[in-house]
Every structure is written in structure tokens, then in C-alpha cells.
A and B are shown apart, each in its own frame.
Chain A
């Protein structure tokens, strides 16, 4: 399978705990994006990387959120001190170089904070 993969698919945690999600993009896609989707809404942009550089962060990305893409391949999204409002589907997408901006999404990680 050469699509975008995300792990874990589901995560249940208690308020105040830290969680980390992983995204593996389509190979050779140099752009990687994180979005968050709450129930009944469309996805909202969080941040994106071009290779290993994080080029844009949304105001939605509070200081409890951090994303990395250290080698320009896979990416991690960490949420520290989780809150119930963090419960959502976290989606990763990737795209190829400029001129082909179509973004392909992974299956998502559904987070539930109790």
C-alpha cells in the first residue's frame, strides 16, 4: 500500500496525559499536512511541512501541540496535557511538489480524551 498511513487509528486517553500520533506520507511527497476534524465539521488546517521545515502553523495549534518531521519523511504530532476539547479526528495528508497540489489523506487518528 503506497497511500498515507497513520498510527494509531484510535487513542483513548485521560485528561492531562500526553499523546503522540505518527503519519507516514506517500513516498517522495515532500509536503505533509496535519488537519483536525471535529464531529459534523470539515477538517481544519493545523500545520504543514515542506521536507523537514515547518512552514505554517494555524492559530488552532496551541502551545500544547507540537509537530515534527525530522528527516523529511514521517511526521509526529504531539499533544501535551490533553484536554477534553482536543477530542477529534486528526488527519494527515501529503502532496507532491508545486504544480501538483492535490492532497491525499490518511485514514486519521481518532482521539478521545476522557
Chain B
């Protein structure tokens, strides 16, 4: 049973389009992190969200933490080929120290 469901698992769109990636769970997280991972490398942190309803922006990327701290979304505006990669959401379960990861979204932006 996957604790953190991430969707879609694969997404291929044209440059300039917008997209949203979702992470959903029935568990409450004390924080949620989004990472980007290149082939053969470790995940690189994009953002950490902590407060329910929190919205953080990183250039064309907008991250939102659900009010109940059970879900999160990543929205990319005007996607560029440089956004191509594997995006991972990871939640820190309340009272625990380990991160629980989603399956990842492999994003391809076509020129």
C-alpha cells in the first residue's frame, strides 16, 4: 500500500503549457517536501511546506500544502525543456523522522 499517491506518474507536454502534479494521502504530515531528481543523482530539494494551506512560489513553480496537511500540489507555469526530470513529493509523518515518498512524476517537456 502506497502511503503517498503521486499522480500522474508520467507526463509529456509541449513547451509553454501548464501542468499540475498531485500528491495525496490519508495520513497527516508535519511537513512535505518536493524534490527533483536527475538520472543517476540524488534528489535535490525544491521546497518544504509546513503549514496547512501554505503556498510557496519558486519562479514558475507553485507549491501548495493542503489545509489538512494530507495532500500537496506542484504547478508549473509555461513549462520549459529545462523542467524535464523526475519530481518527487515526500512527507514527514507526524511523530516520525522518516520521509515517505511518492512514486514520482517523470516529466518531459518537448520543445
- A-side residues, CB < 8 A to B, are 4, 6, 31, 33, 35, 40-45, 48, 55-56, 58, 91, 93, 101-108, 110
- Complex contacts, B97 vs chain A, CB 8 Å: 31, 33, 48, 55-56, 101
Q: From A108, which residue of chain B is reached at the shortest CB distance?
A: B42
Q: Which of B93-111 contact A (CB under 8 A)?
A: 96-104
A41–B86 Cα distance when bound, in Å, is 10
Do A42 and B42 form a contact, CB below 8 Å, given A55-B97, A102-B33, A105-B35? no
Question: Which applies to chain B's interface (DSSP): helix, strand, loop or mixed?
Answer: strand
- Complex contacts, A104 vs chain B, CB 8 Å: 45
Residue of B31, B40, B41, B103 touching A42 (CB-CB under 8 A): B103
Q: From B40, which residue of chain A is reached at the shortest CB distance?
A: A110
Q: From A50, which residue of chain B is reached at the shortest CB distance?
A: B97
- Complex contacts, A107 vs chain B, CB 8 Å: 41-42
